[in-house]
């Protein structure tokens, strides 16, 4: 699938898979590095030695010598899976999403190859993307990214999650590599700009939306399939 054109203000679902379906992370350190990349790569400023210069700092702390962060995208939602990742982004400067993905994926491949003595990109071709046009689709897609994908990892998969939603919901609240917990527990994150989705998800609506998507398998509906970018 080619990358769709989009303009400033567009909401975009991005999907990036590992080459040949292989894992893009192999251990907890790789996963936490991805989380940090979402923060540090979302900046007009670039430090090629960012890991070395932040090694003694807290997880999202910026060195005092760096300029103030100027994000190049808005990150609304995200989920890291074993062999791919999903992002829900808003284009806030021209070419921002493309630039962000280049920085993110380039850094992941370089680190992976250095650590595991391999070569080439760890990803399968260009990233896939779909533009979201309406608020109701934005609400559904955010749930798809953060709920359906995580619940696939639940012991027994989606069927088990549907049969015991409350237990699966509690299990998902322990999954660290997604923005799920930030919406489920209403907690802040330096990675996220939650203002848009907080307007969409009123009070307990995130959980009710999650229940709906799992029990009714809405991602199989024809009018929603294209938004999954699968």
CATH label of the domain that carries residue 105: 3.30.70.1290
pLDDT tens digits for 55-70? Answer: 999 999 999 999 999 9
The per-residue pLDDT for 1 is 36
Q: Does some domain include residue 2?
A: no
Strands 128-132 and 84-91: unpaired
Q: Does some domain include residue 1?
A: no
Last-in-domain residue among 96, 113, 129: 129
pLDDT tens digits for 112-169? Answer: 999 999 998 999 988 888 888 777 788 889 989 999 999 999 999 999 999 999 999 9
* Same domain, residue pair 107 and 214: no
Domain span at residue 164? 134-228
Q: Average pLDDT of 20-35?
A: 96
- pTM value is 0.92
* Same domain, residue pair 158 and 85: no
* Same domain, residue pair 24 and 45: yes
* Same domain, residue pair 27 and 80: yes
* Same domain, residue pair 87 and 15: yes
Q: Residue 2 pLDDT > 50, yes or no? A: no
Number of structural domains the chain divides into? 2
* Same domain, residue pair 101 and 83: yes
Last-in-domain residue among 95, 114, 129: 129
Write the secondary structure of the chain as one string of H (helix), E (strand) and C (coil). CCCCCCCCCCEEEEEEEEHHHCCCCCCHHHHHHHHHHHHHCCCCCCCCCHHHHHCCCCCCCCCCCCCCCCCCEEEEEEEECCCEEEEEEEECCCCHHHHHHHHHHHHHHHHHHHHHCCCCCCECCCCEEEEECCHHHHHHHHHHHHHHHHHHCCCCHHHHHHHCHHHHHHHHCCCCCECHHHHHCCCCCCCCCCHHHHHHCCCCHHHHHHHHHHHHCHHHCHHHHHHHCC
* Same domain, residue pair 18 and 117: yes
Helix 28-40 to helix 96-116 angle, to the nearest 10 degrees?
Answer: 150
């Amino acid at each position: 699938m080619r990358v769709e054109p989009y303009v400033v203000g567009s909401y975009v679902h991005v999907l990036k898979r590992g080459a040949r379906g292989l894992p893009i992370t192999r251990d907890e350190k790789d996963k936490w590095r991805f989380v940090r990349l979402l923060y540090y790569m979302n900046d007009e400023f670039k430090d090629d030695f960012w890991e070395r210069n932040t090694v003694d700092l807290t997880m999202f702390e910026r060195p005092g010598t760096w300029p103030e962060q100027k994000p190049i995208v808005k990150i609304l939602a995200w989920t890291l899976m074993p062999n791919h990742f999903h992002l829900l982004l808003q284009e806030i400067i021209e070419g921002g999403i493309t630039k962000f993905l280049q920085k993110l994926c380039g850094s992941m491949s370089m680190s992976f190859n250095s650590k595991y003595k391999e070569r080439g990109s760890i990803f399968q071709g260009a990233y896939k993307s779909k533009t979201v046009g309406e608020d109701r689709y934005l609400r559904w897609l955010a749930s798809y990214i953060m709920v359906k994908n995580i619940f696939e990892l639940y012991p027994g998969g989606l069927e088990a999650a549907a049969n015991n939603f409350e237990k699966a919901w509690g299990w998902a609240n322990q999954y660290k590599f997604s923005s799920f917990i930030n919406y489920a527990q209403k907690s802040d994150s330096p990675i996220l700009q939650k203002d848009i989705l907080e307007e969409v998800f009123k009070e307990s609506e995130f959980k009710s939306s999650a229940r709906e998507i799992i029990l009714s398998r809405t991602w199989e509906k024809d009018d929603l399939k294209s938004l999954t970018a699968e």
